[in-house]
Structure 1
Amino acid sequence: MFARKNCFFLIALLLGLSGCAVISEEECRVGLWYERGLQDGARGRPQSQVYDIARECQNYDMPMDSEAWLQGHEEGVETFCTAENGYDQGRRGRNYQGVCTGPAADLFLLNYERGLAEYRVEQHYQSLLWRRDSLQRELLSLRHAYRNSDSEVQLRALHFQRSRLRWELQMLDMELHRYGLFGSRYSTSGFYPRGFFSARLFYW
């Protein structure tokens, strides 16, 4: 048991060092096919990956024990295809490659889609906040330019830009208000507090 844990740790380390490559020459040399299949399955990687691994190792003139990998992969997938992990994968915005089968697949997918919907809502909310920050900075720059300009033509242009930015800010505020329905978790560090966007302190 201790040896197997050490093997699993070693394959995890090698996977981390190999980056985005399917498999490295060193990993082909080490083998640990059951352990690698176990980890690939637990990460939700498809069974078809066995062909990519075998091809890469063949390029290094090293054989792959596909049966051991498939056995490990099958067991790893069982730990991946749970309702809890489905939600977690979706909540993190990760791509699901359809590895689950049977009743577990339906339960996984149901929770995955629920988590993914929340992830997309939060991402959209963040993008609105970032856009609002950008608009506020533009307005501050315009205010400085407006106060230091003596050109009537430039003042008219700045006034037009200011009106456009204020209108966009108001539209953003209206959209951001909708997110108050999602509760206090959207008022975490890095987010604006609820009610913040109704203040008129930022308009000039």
Structure 2
Amino acid sequence: MRVEKQTAFRFAWLVAVVSLAAGCSTMDADECRVANWSGLGYADASKGKDVSMAGDRAQACSEHGYRMDMAAYQRGWNEGLKEFCTFPGGQAFGDRGGNYKPGYCPPGAESQFLASYLPAYKRYQYQQRIDGLQRDINRKNSEIIRLQSRKDGSDEGKISRLKGEVSALNNQLQSERMRQFMDR
């Protein structure tokens, strides 16, 4: 019970500090008026949102003349963490490229979360690099086609340079795909 009170105090203190620093409005007056604070806490934690979200919500509602129900939000937050800090939660967060901050999940659940998050996040990063290289290749190929459609032939040097860049990008793409394959 004493640990729960310490955790609640730390949470409330952190939200208060963050709410003073929060500058953007995350909720309008109507949302604040009808807010289900427990549901919002649950939703924020189960999506892996930073605890600063509570401060943002408190600040926004304060600006509209409403007070956040901190106890309800924290109850919801704690339930949301139970869902988020699981093996499936880690995989889903990694798959969508979420940036996990160590210590977000409670110590007992963090290792289970990380066991699925780390490989999923690594796959996400590989895919982002591969997609970026493919976009660069496509952009340069489009430029080559555009330049080749000119009839005067004045862009042969630029076309040659672009073809060299495409070749280098294709090599990088193949290397990245090979690293991805080998890292499975």
Same fold (TM over 0.5): yes
Q: Which residue of 1 aligns with 2:14?
A: none
Superposed, 1:173-188 pairs within 5 Å as 173-178=170-175, 179=177, 182=180
Superposed, 1:33-182 pairs within 5 Å as 33-98=37-102, 99-145=104-150, 148-149=151-152, 155=153, 158-178=155-175, 179=177, 182=180
Larger RCO (CA under 8 A, 6+ residues apart): 2
**When the two structures are superposed, what TM-score results if normalisation uses the length of structure 1?**
0.66
* CA offset digits 1:132-191 (Å, max 9, x no partner): 12222222233232xx22xxxxx4x523212212211221222222315656xxxxxxxx
Given the superposition, is the C-alpha separation of residues 143 and 109 from structure 1 closer, same or farther in structure 2, using an over 3 Å criterion? same
Bigger radius of gyration: 1
**When the two structures are superposed, what TM-score results if normalisation uses the length of structure 2?**
0.72
The answer for unaligned runs of 5 or more in structure 1 is 1-19, 150-154, 184-204
Q: How many angstroms apart in 2 are the aligned matches of 1:79 and 1:139?
A: 50
Count of residue pairs brought into register by the alignment: 156
Amino acid at match of 2:131: Q
Alpha-carbon distance, 1:106 to partner:
2.6
Alpha-carbon distance, 1:70 to partner:
0.6
* CA offset digits 1:66-91 (Å, max 9, x no partner): 11111111011110111222122122
Percent identical pairs in the alignment equals 28
Alpha-carbon distance, 1:51 to partner:
3.4
Q: How many angstroms apart in 1 are the aligned matches of 2:180 and 2:165?
A: 23
Q: Which residue of 1 aligns with 2:3?
A: none
Amino acid at match of 1:163: S
Superposed, 1:9-48 pairs within 5 Å as 21-48=25-52
Q: Which residue of 2 aligns with 1:195?
A: none
Q: Which residue of 2 aligns with 1:9?
A: none
Alpha-carbon distance, 1:92 to partner:
1.1
